[in-house]
Chain A
Amino acid sequence: MNDIQGNLLIADDNKVNRLLMSRSVELLGHKASVAENGKIALEMLAQEPFDALLLDIEMPEMDGFQVLEAIKTDPALRDLPVIVTSSVEGLDNIVRCIELGAEDYIPKPVNKVLLKARLNSSLEKKRLHDEQKRLLNRFATEEVADDLQKSGFAIGGRRVHATILFCDIRDFTALSENMAPEAIIELLNTFYTLMFEAVSSHGGIVSLMVGDGLMAIFGAPQPIKSPEQSAVEAAKEMLEMVAVLNEERAAEGEPKLRLGFGIATGEVVAGYAGTDARATYTCIGKTVNRAARLEAHTKTSDCRILFDTETHDELIERDGVHRIADAQLKGFSNSISVFAIK
């Protein structure tokens, strides 16, 4: 196992302990800063990013318990691993540290081998956590990422009112037949980058990516002001961005990308589905099917963005919105009203 170098903060009121701890972690290849009490430690934590805190309990001004409490309630510090190093008496005090969120407890005098192992494990955990956060933020909005962090990826569902958007690239298979594999992936990456931007800038999250299409959710897991309007705006923005992309492609003699959007609003069952190892925030229900079918319906209508009555009725902006012929969608017993924009 490769040892990770960390930027550590040592909080201890005792001079000998500070010297000894600094020297110990420096011998292990880490960088060490010191604070003489809890108050100074918190001030330093607010100013500089540290990878772990080695915390003494008995300190004047602000003791270790108070520091643990402050860290626990601060979203910016919540994930910082804290290793309590103390010669505090009583098992109940050690239990209290762990209950307050300390990662580990090492009794003083600190055993070097134990310190090395605990530090490596804490730093590795921190690294994985940071990595997970980065990945999450790539695939979800900050709200979903936060929700996931807090719920600890609890698999479960609830009924929510949301707007679902489906989008895909028309005739992508035919379009990609004459392209090099690298060029296909590059084009898809461009498409996804633009689409993620359009969806997240309107408060939605991308839930599924399938080949040349994707599904986005507006209004879950976090409620937003107008999920209907947001979804329509995201689709409009996406079309504008692809129009710019198409101009570039036309200049290079490449065929244009054509997109279709289907939007539906209603009750869905939303939650993290999958296994502990691989889960995604997703929605299922009639609304989802309706959005998917409306998206497919763009193939036979001239309109790029189609939506249902439930979405239409909640729109705040209706410029360019018009009703087209009712459609009999696959899997639905009755024909439904269909609306388009532009």
Chain B
Amino acid sequence: MTQDLIDPTIFEELQEAMGPEFATELLDTFLNDAANMFASLEQAALAQDADGYRRAAHSIKSNAQTFGATALADQARTIELAGTINTAAIEPLRAMFEETATALKGLIDE
């Protein structure tokens, strides 16, 4: 299944509604805060804390949706709804995040 990495219209709408400067600032916040969210996800997986694991995935999904990062949102959502901790799912999610981050930065530079 191939899927678009980003739905650019969502980010455009965000820029339009909130102002381009704020949208950039918000994206920076997401890209910086992502490290914390991934750390929470890993820690929760290590501690077998299913609730924390789900919540961290939920947070990543929620922010991905804000920026129109459709593929990342879907992947995080799958983890959120899995019901069990799957440590193996973390690395692919991180890879998806890196790819998404590059694409989102590209939207600002345009």
Complexed CA–CA distance, A109 and B62 (Å): 7
CB distance from B18 to the nearest CB of A (A): 6
A89 with B80: CB separation less than 8 A:
yes
In contact, B52 and A20 (Cβ under 8 angstroms):
no
Q: Shortest distance in angstroms between A62's beta carbon and chain B's nearest beta carbon?
A: 13
Q: List the B residue with the shortest CB-CB distance to A113.
A: B17
> Known contacts A20-B18, A89-B80; is A14 also within 8 Å of B26 by CB?
no
> How many residues on chain A are close to B (CB under 8 Å)?
19
- Interface pair A108/B62, CB less than 8 Å apart: yes
User: A14 to B40, alpha carbons, bound, how many Å?
Assistant: 12
Bound-state CA distance A58–B52 (Å) is: 10
Within 8 A of B (CB), among A28-47: none
Tell me which of A13, A15, A109, A112 contacts B29 (CB under 8 A): A15
CA distance A88 to B62 in the complex (A): 9
B81 touches A14 (CB 8 A): no
Whether A17 contacts B63 in the complex (CB less than 8 A), given A58-B55, A58-B58, comes out as yes
- Encode contact with A along B22-35: 1 for CB under 8 Å, 0 otherwise: 10011001100100
Which of B54-88 touch A at CB < 8 Å? 54-55, 58-59, 61-63, 65-66, 77, 80-81
Whether the pair A108, B65 counts as a contact (CB closer than 8 A) is yes
A66 within 8 A of B: no
Which of A19, A27, A87, A88 has the most chain B CB atoms inside 10 A of its CB? A87
Complex Cα–Cα for A119 and B26 (A):
23
Alpha-carbon gap, A59 to B56, bound state (A): 10
Interface contact A60-B65, CB-CB below 8 Å: no
Contact B77 A16 (CB under 8 A): no
A246 on the interface (CB 8 Å rule)? no
| Chain B residue nearest in CB terms to A13 | B59
Most buried by A among B10, B29, B52: B29
Q: How far is the CA of A103 from the CA of B10 in the complex (A)?
A: 27
User: With the chains together, A230 CA to B25 CA distance in Å?
Assistant: 66
Report yes or no: A16 in contact with B55, Cβ–Cβ below 8 A: no
Assembled-state Cα–Cα distance A23/B19 (Å):
10
Please, which residue of chain A has its CB at the minimum distance from the CB of B59?
A: A14
Report Cα–Cα, A15/B32, bound state, in Å: 10
Apart from A16-B26, A23-B26, A87-B62, what 13 extra A-B contacts exist at CB < 8 Å?
A13-B55, A14-B59, A14-B62, A16-B29, A20-B18, A20-B26, A23-B18, A27-B18, A58-B59, A60-B52, A87-B61, A89-B81, A108-B62
27 A–B contacts from the bound complex (CB under 8 Å): A13-B59, A14-B62, A15-B29, A16-B26, A16-B29, A16-B30, A16-B63, A17-B62, A17-B63, A17-B66, A19-B26, A20-B26, A24-B17, A24-B18, A27-B17, A58-B58, A58-B59, A60-B55, A87-B62, A89-B77, A89-B80, A89-B81, A108-B62, A108-B65, A108-B66, A109-B65, A112-B17
Closest 8 CB pairs of A and B: A87-B62, A109-B66, A16-B30, A16-B63, A58-B58, A15-B33, A14-B59, A112-B17
